Amino acid sequence: MSARPASKPRIVALGAVLLAGCAMAAAGCGPTFTRGSDDPTLDEPPMSTRLDRKDLDIALEQWITGFQASPFMVTLPRDKPSIAILKIANDTSEHIGGALDNLLSEMETKLVDSGAWTVVDNSRLTTDANMAERLRQLGDTVDPETRVALGKEYGIHYFVNGRVGETTEEVKDTRRVQYYLFLRVTDVATNVIRYQDQVDITKQVED
Amino acid sequence: MVVANRSRAPSLVAPLPLLLPLLLPLLLTAACRGTYEARFDAVQRAYYSGDLEQAEDLLRSRIRREDGGADADLLRLELAQVLQAGEHYAEASVLLAGVDDRLLVLDYSDAPVDELSRVLYSPDRARWHATPPERLMLNVQNMLNFLGQGEWEDAAVEARRARQQLIREHVPAEDRYGSRFVWGLAGICLELAGAQGEAQDCYRDAQTPELERRPGADEGSLLVVVQDGQAPVRVPALAYLYAYGAPRRLQLPALAPRSRGSPRVDLLVDGASAGPLPELLDYGGQSLRRYDDEFPRLLAAAALQVVPRAYIADFVERGLSDHDEPAGSPQNTWARFGGFLAGELVAEALPADTRCWTLLPATVRATRISLPAGTHTVAIALSGPGGDERRAEWTVQLDPGGFALVQLTAAVGGGFSPAASPLARDLTATTAGQQALELLRQPPVSTP
């Protein structure tokens, strides 16, 4: 049986298919970059069990909404009392310190935007070595010396501090982290907590 | 008893052409692969001889070449150890935190035998799985890295992770409370981060007054840590076990002890002796004890590999033999030899996985002292077995209520000789051999 030579159109078609295949393979190689403004869904999927911007946005929105509607805000004097956010401590086993720094800055922005407060920048406090050391050692309560310093040296009437705790559980290849964000507003003069709320965030990863 | 049952073996008319594609990749793998520690010798030689720059260059070059490969996580752990020894704490911490997020962990002492077998003898070189002690050491090393940078909150994160490892239900009590250094170090990290309650819990379990000393007024706190010796490493070993109706030659990973480091380490502050540094962690000893517990399971996992080897040997023998010839004919004798050779080639192509975190120390010595605020000279003197002495010195500035870390990886500069494999021996009559055979009789229980 003799082999029939392939016709010219068939060879061309075969070549075209091969070229297309190579082009598709080449297109599939290398990283792909996407701009968030072109694809708003970029921020949607969770990438880890840490806190991302979406988690922080939701948490902050929930906290600020509750704060604005609280009886404390209704009775707030109109002369824009001063407030500072001292620290949001990371009491978890996740490296979320950077995310909490961002949350603190976002909170400052929201408080400024509300027009109800004179906000004392947190970085003003942390550039003072003494105060930075006090804040570093800050636990759930603020000691009297620190409160006196906040009032006298910085003219602060109220301060916000808080912490993030967690419950982590693992079953087989699934790991779930439940975060609890506690934030409270305290009166510097009286050491009375004027507002406190808790925001819950849950993240899960499955291998 | 699959091997003895020849009638269940596949029957092929001309199997060799079909076998070639199967055997060739295996042989090529065997030729290219080598054991992890053999390929890692140059890095170890540089590291233990004190040339940290060369060790770093070699590791970076391998990470570039093998990025995303099966050893990627392990190479990063080794690089972090090199960087920490050179006091490049920031980069070391980033590497370790990155690996921690995706690290696979396999507990050899209670994993199902078939799962162990799959991981240890994977033909496509599975992603490296850390053992629980290696996983714990990752957090220990990162506590030190963050303390070295003065990042207390991140050090506390690592402390909580280490604590979570230790309080898991299946951790043996002797490991849980034998890790006094880990508890004590976690206590320090949490104390510095302001988590006093958690710190107290750790100190309670640590029973290490050496690490709990807090500075008084106008004093600073100095933590001195010496990582000494070379942790035991996994090396390829041969053993014989009577399984599946015949004596079987098995390849499995053995754990070879290495140097424990200096017999005595002294601390000197401002020229005066501050006493010998106590040994608070015997990582090498813990690993060796743990290996004894793992051994029957490893042996059973190695014995499971006999089954596919015997299938292939049988496959080749049937293909080469002539059924019309008597069994003792030259051709059928060659066929048997060919079958045997094929089985051995497969065994050589799939040696046991011996990868482990090689640059870890065997022991950790530590103490925490309070010193008046100001500048101090701190020296560590390492006494060798022959009476020779090595010394390292630092100048430390301590603020009132402040904290400083002095960390020495003493094995750097201590010299390197490759760990030797143990001699092959028949383990059938040993307790471990009998336990392995018992495990093989049980149905495998793998998680889906």
- pLDDT of the residue at B12: 40
Residue B97's φ and ψ, nearest 5 degrees, are -65, -35
Q: Does A65 touch chain B (CB under 8 A)?
A: no
pLDDT of B446 above 70:
no
Task: Report CA-CA distances (Å) from A165 to A148, A202, B364.
Answer: 28, 12, 31
Per-residue pLDDT band at B447 (split at 50, 70, 90): very low
Q: Could you list the residue range(s) of the whole structural domain that residue B136 is in?
A: 34-305+350-441
Task: Report CA-CA distances (Å) from B247 to B8, B59, B242.
Answer: 21, 41, 4
CA distance B282 to B363: 5
Which residues touch A50 (CB under 8 Å, ≥6 apart)?
A94, A95, A96, A99, A203
Q: Which residues of B touch A97 (CB under 8 A)?
A: 153-154, 157
Task: Report yes or no on B365 lying in a domain.
Answer: yes
- pLDDT of the residue at B20: 57
Check: CB of residue A186 under 8 Å from CB of residue A192. yes
CA distance A182 to A159: 14
Q: How many CB atoms lie within 10 A of CB B61?
A: 10
Query: B101 vs A48: CB contact, 8 Å cut-off?
Result: yes
Check: CB of residue A91 under 8 Å from CB of residue A164. yes
What mean pLDDT is predicted for residues A49-71?
A: 92
Per-residue pLDDT band at A126 (split at 50, 70, 90): confident
CA distance B322 to B326: 8
Minimum distance, in Å, between the CA of residue A168 and any CA atom of chain B: 9
pLDDT of B412 above 50:
yes
Least confident of A40-49, B73-82, B238-247, B413-422: B238-247
CA distance B123 to B33: 11
Query: What is the per-residue pLDDT across A146-181, written as a single tens digit (0 to 9) for each?
Result: 888 899 899 999 999 999 999 988 887 788 999 999
CB pairs under 8 A between A and B: 32
Residue predicted with more confidence, B126 or B356: B356
- pTM of model > 0.95: no
CA distance A160 to A205: 32
Concatenated DSSP letters for B43-109? Answer: HHHHHHTT-HHHHHHHHHHHHHHTTTSTTHHHHHHHHHHHHHHTT-HHHHHHHHHHHHTT-EE--TT
Residue predicted with more confidence, B166 or B13: B166
CA distance B136 to B61: 27
Percentage of chain A exceeding pLDDT 70: 85
**Tokens 């990162």 — which residue?**
B142
Which residues touch B303 (CB under 8 Å, ≥6 apart)?
B241, B243, B244, B248, B250, B436, B437, B440
pLDDT of A90 above 90:
yes
Residue predicted with more confidence, B97 or B251: B97
Helix (H) or strand (E) holding B236, with range, is strand B233-243
Which of B297, B204, B300, B181 is closest to B250 using CA atoms? Answer: B300
- pLDDT of the residue at B440: 78
Highest mean pLDDT among A167-181, B392-406, B429-443: B392-406
Classify residue A198 by burial, with Cβ atoms within 10 Å: 0-12, 13-18, 19+: middle
Query: A97 vs B101: CB contact, 8 Å cut-off?
Result: no
**Tokens 């003799």 — which residue?**
A2
Task: Report yes or no on B247 lying in a domain.
Answer: yes
Query: B153 vs A172: CB contact, 8 Å cut-off?
Result: no
Integer-rounded Cα radius of gyration of chain A: 27
**Token pair listed for B65:** 């070449």
pLDDT of B5 above 70:
no
Task: Report yes or no on B316 lying in a domain.
Answer: no
Residue-level length of chain B: 448
Per-residue pLDDT band at B40 (split at 50, 70, 90): confident
Minimum distance, in Å, between the CA of residue B220 and any CA atom of chain A: 14
**Token pair listed for A151:** 């009032």
Query: B153 vs A97: CB contact, 8 Å cut-off?
Result: yes
Query: B157 vs A93: CB contact, 8 Å cut-off?
Result: yes
Per-residue pLDDT band at A13 (split at 50, 70, 90): low
CA distance A87 to A186: 13
Assigned CATH for A50-206: 3.40.50.10610
Tell which A residues from 40 to 59 touch B, by Cβ distance under 8 Å.
Answer: 48
CA distance B84 to B409: 8
Please tell me whether residue A47 adopts helix, strand or coil conformation: coil
Which sequence spans correspond to the domains of chain A? 50-206
Which of B229, B286, B287 is closest to B253 using CA atoms? Answer: B287
Integer-rounded Cα radius of gyration of chain B: 26
Looking at every residue in chain A, the average pLDDT score rounds to 84
Query: What is the per-residue pLDDT across B145-165, written as a single tens digit (0 to 9) for each?
Result: 999 999 999 999 999 999 988
Check: CB of residue A88 under 8 Å from CB of residue A180. no
Nearest-by-Cβ selection for A168 from B152, B156, B164: B164
pLDDT of B80 above 90:
yes
- pLDDT of the residue at B10: 40
pLDDT of B85 above 90:
yes
Give ∠ CA A51-A52-A53 in degrees, rounded to 5: 130
Q: Both ends of chain A: CA-CA distance in Å?
A: 57
What mean pLDDT is predicted for residues B237-265?
A: 87
Q: Report the sign of the C-alpha dihedral through residues B289, B294, B300, B303, in that order.
A: negative
Check: CB of residue A181 under 8 Å from CB of residue A168. no
**Token pair listed for B237:** 């070993």
Task: Report CA-CA distances (Å) from B257 to B254, B419, B439.
Answer: 10, 8, 27
Q: Which residues of B touch A92 (CB under 8 A)?
A: 157, 160
**Token pair listed for A207:** 């291998």
- pLDDT of the residue at B120: 86
pLDDT of A2 above 50:
no
Percentage of chain B exceeding pLDDT 70: 84
Residue predicted with more confidence, B25 or B385: B385
Which of B185, B362, B158, B181 is closest to B257 using CA atoms? Answer: B362
**Token pair listed for B86:** 């050179």
- pLDDT of the residue at A9: 56
Percentage of chain B exceeding pLDDT 90: 46
What mean pLDDT is predicted for residues B82-89?
A: 97
Query: A90 vs B401: CB contact, 8 Å cut-off?
Result: no
Domain count of the fold of chain B: 1
Q: How many CB atoms lie within 10 A of CB A29?
A: 6
* DSSP 3-state percent helix, strand, coil across chain A (nearest 5): 40, 25, 30
Tell me, what CATH number does B220's domain have? 1.25.40.10
Looking at every residue in chain B, the average pLDDT score rounds to 84
Determine which of A50, A51, A91, A104 to mutate to test the interface with B (most B C-beta atoms within 10 Å).
A91
pLDDT of B405 above 50:
yes
pLDDT of A3 above 50:
no
Concatenated DSSP letters for B237-295? Answer: EEEEEEETTEEEEEEEEEEE------SEEEEEETTEEEEEPPEEE-HHHHHHHHHHHHH
Task: Report yes or no on B1 lying in a domain.
Answer: no
Q: Between the CA atoms of B229, B230, B232 and B235, what dihedral angle is there, to the nearest 10 degrees?
A: -150
CA A121 to mean position of chain CA atoms:
18
- pLDDT of the residue at A30: 63
Residue predicted with more confidence, B347 or B12: B347
Minimum distance, in Å, between the CA of residue B213 and any CA atom of chain A: 17
Check: CB of residue B235 under 8 Å from CB of residue B391. no
Least confident of A142-151, B29-38, B271-280, B434-443: B29-38
Q: Which residues of B touch A167 (CB under 8 A)?
A: none
Whether the complex's predicted ipTM is more than 0.85 is answered with no
- pLDDT of the residue at B158: 97
pLDDT of A12 above 80:
no
Residue predicted with more confidence, B435 or A22: B435
Which of A84, A103, A115, A121 is closest to A199 using CA atoms? Answer: A103
- pLDDT of the residue at B266: 96
Check: CB of residue B248 under 8 Å from CB of residue B241. yes
Determine which of A51, A86, A90, A95 to mutate to test the interface with B (most B C-beta atoms within 10 Å).
A95
Task: Report yes or no on B232 lying in a domain.
Answer: yes
Q: How many CB atoms lie within 10 A of CB A74?
A: 8
- pLDDT of the residue at A42: 87
Task: Report yes or no on B333 lying in a domain.
Answer: no
Query: What is the per-residue pLDDT across B295-352, written as a single tens digit (0 to 9) for each?
Result: 999 988 888 877 766 667 677 777 777 878 887 788 888 877 777 777 666 666 667 8
Beta strands in chain A (DSSP E): 82-90, 118-120, 158-171, 174-187, 193-206
